[in-house]
Structure 1
Amino acid sequence: MIHDFDYVMGMVRDLRATSSTKDKEFIILDYCGHNSAAASFTKNILLYTYHPLWQYNVTSDNLKKKNHLVARKNEYKNFFDLLDALKSRKITGHDAIAAVNS
């Protein structure tokens, strides 16, 4: 998974290097346009970040204020499982903050 985050950060770095909308579209298509695990991961990152109807209801201010809250056990297999639990409101309040902080 670390390699996949490095792949996404490479895309972000390339996107920041240009101000052209067309170039940015080409970069996104280039990074997401093939059938590798990293490309699939990148598509999911973009989906979970920019989907207009999905909210996770945890803010950076809450995480900073409640940084002492940490889940005792990490029950999520991956990052997307945690986001799905937040999105569906399976975890809320202090439990949500603790899960994100862990």
Structure 2
Amino acid sequence: MFFFPPDRGVEAMQLFRDLPSQLPDDMAIIAFGMRAPDTPFVPDEYKHTYGYFIQLETVGPTPSSPPPPRSCGSTRLRSSWWSRCATSTSSR
């Protein structure tokens, strides 16, 4: 899961628009806005702050193909957007 603070919302939505065409067929991308929870993986300065979240999930391999590497979507996300994102909370 990747977090974009409110001032990076345009970048989050551009990523949500552009990334799916580069993901394997069995990987989904989900974007949502919410208030960051008070949990250990959220940096203190973003706890209880509204922002945008991008989540990548494998939805299951087809019977004829092996599952993609766990990092294939997040690697693309990091290489293209990491330097422009204020912070990231990766669950993978």
TM-score normalised to structure 1 length: 0.28
Q: Higher RCO, 1 or 2 (CA under 8 Å, sep at least 6)?
A: 2
In terms of fraction of residues, the more helix-rich structure is: 1
Q: Please tell me whether Structure 1 or Structure 2 has the larger radius of gyration of its CA atoms.
A: 1
- Whichever structure has more strand as a proportion of its residues is 2
